[in-house]
Structure 1
Amino acid sequence: MAKSESFDFEKQFAYYGAYHRNPINYFIHMLFVWPILFSFLVLLSFTPSFLKLPHIEFSPFGNLVLNFGLFPTLSYALFYISIDNRAGSLAAVFCVLSWVGGSLLAGRLGYSLAWKKRVPKIKNNLTKALVMEPFFVFLEALQMFFGYEPYSGFHASVQAKIDAELKTFRDSEQKKIS
């Protein structure tokens, strides 16, 4: 993986890791970030088709329509692959499966029932929350269960950055108290 001056993956991952140290918060993110992305794709399934193609039949489950849910799916997939070929390719498959599953579920639920879903409040940075968090959660799961690293030394480097970020946070909190 080549480092880019405009996008420092280790720095972004360390920032994410520093703010997800609470075990309950960490557990919640591991369980719910991908379902939130899935829900987003369910809602986008109700947008009109952007191509005049015959619907792809998946009977008895419903039709798959090339709608505007495909754009973020492909964008996420390509972005994740550009970050890390191996984990990104697997995450890209999950993105496509989420789009297909979301489209099929939307067809089964119908518009009025699907729009009753609520999306959690997203603070700070919308791009990080909607684009990077699913990949970070995915990468953490790969590391936790399979010991995966995008490259040798990645997790040690990220942990050092997390420790530095936490020290900066603690120091600023201590100054507020003083």
Structure 2
Amino acid sequence: MEIRGLLDLEKQYAFYKAYHRDPVNILLHRLFVWPVVFTFLLLLYFTPCVSQFPLLGSLFLPLHLLTSHGLFLNLGFLLVLLFVVIDLCLDKKAGSLAAVLCLACWVGSSFLARRLGFLWAWKVVLVSQLVCWTGEALGHALFEIPVFFAMHSSWTFFLLTKLKAIWPLIQVLQTTFHYEPYEGFNASVRMKMEAQIKEWEKKQQRKTM
């Protein structure tokens, strides 16, 4: 039931929008979310290749041609594969664009990691992750309610830390191209978002009583 809920586009997008309404906070997330994904994949470049695991190696055997170009099927690739599947399950159109961006991050981070080497790569990752997560945290701390207070479980926390990468993308598509996955989506999301806000406000009132 929990997995099904996490793949519910309306529910999860309404959850995201309920705690990302301030323009400054929205902008900060748009700026920092994808660099977090890119630099995390940069570090995962140095993890073991799937060819070292017999079962996984046989499954991805045709793709081993990529290794000649420095694209190793490591844990970063498997994580991107998971992201692609999740994004496509959420929304085929926006998910396809998110999938392309995820794959581009994997390719770009692989080339950069190969050039930098581990000694410099982990330093780049450390600095960028600190800057990006600090920027997002300040966006909530200074401009909006921290989303962490609304988390319901460890599953939600783990997946939303990545899945939110697709949410700013959908927001950009909506504001730029008036994108709507299907008719009635925006109206339904608005209703669920308002319900989320009211629920949170009620919880806050109980705590202060």
Short-chain TM bin: 0.7 to 0.9
Indicate the residue corresponding to 2:50 in structure 1: 50
Q: Secondary structure at the match of 1:64?
A: coil
**In 1, are the aligned partners of 2:7 and 2:90 still within 8 Å (CA)?**
no
- How far did 1:43 drift? 0.7
Greater helix share, structure number: 2
Indicate the residue corresponding to 2:114 in structure 1: 107
Residue 127 (structure 1) aligned with residue 159 (structure 2): yes
- How far did 1:129 drift? 0.7
Provide the rounded CA distance (Å) in 1 between the counterparts of 2:51 and 2:160.
30
Q: Following superposition of structure 1 onto structure 2, how do residues 14-163 of structure 1 map, counting pairs within 5 Å? A: 14-51=14-51, 53=64, 55-57=67-69, 63-116=70-123, 117-118=125-126, 119=129, 120=133, 123=148, 124=151, 125-130=157-162, 132-163=163-194
Query: What letter matches 1:94 in structure 2?
Result: L
Query: What letter matches 1:163 in structure 2?
Result: E
- How far did 1:85 drift? 1.4
Query: What letter matches 1:147 in structure 2?
Result: H
How large is the RMSD of aligned CA atoms in angstroms? 2.2
Q: CA, structure 1 residues 68+5, in 2 after alignment: closer, same or farther (shift >3 Å)? A: closer
Matched length: 169
Provide the rounded CA distance (Å) in 1 between the counterparts of 2:40 and 2:74.
13
Deviations 1:45-84 (A, max 9, x none): 1112222746323xxxxx2222221101111112211221
Provide the rounded CA distance (Å) in 1 between the counterparts of 2:202 and 2:75.
45
**In 1, are the aligned partners of 2:41 and 2:106 still within 8 Å (CA)?**
yes
Provide the rounded CA distance (Å) in 2 between the counterparts of 1:147 and 1:98.
26
**In 1, are the aligned partners of 2:87 and 2:166 still within 8 Å (CA)?**
yes
- How far did 1:6 drift? 6.8
Query: What letter matches 1:26 in structure 2?
Result: I
Indicate the residue corresponding to 2:197 in structure 1: 166
Query: What letter matches 1:128 in structure 2?
Result: L
Query: What letter matches 2:199 in structure 1?
Result: T
Q: Secondary structure at the match of 1:105?
A: helix
**In 1, are the aligned partners of 2:42 and 2:121 still within 8 Å (CA)?**
yes
Percent of residue pairs identical: 41
Q: Secondary structure at the match of 2:20?
A: coil
TM-score, normalised relative to structure 1: 0.84
Provide the rounded CA distance (Å) in 2 between the counterparts of 1:89 and 1:70.
17
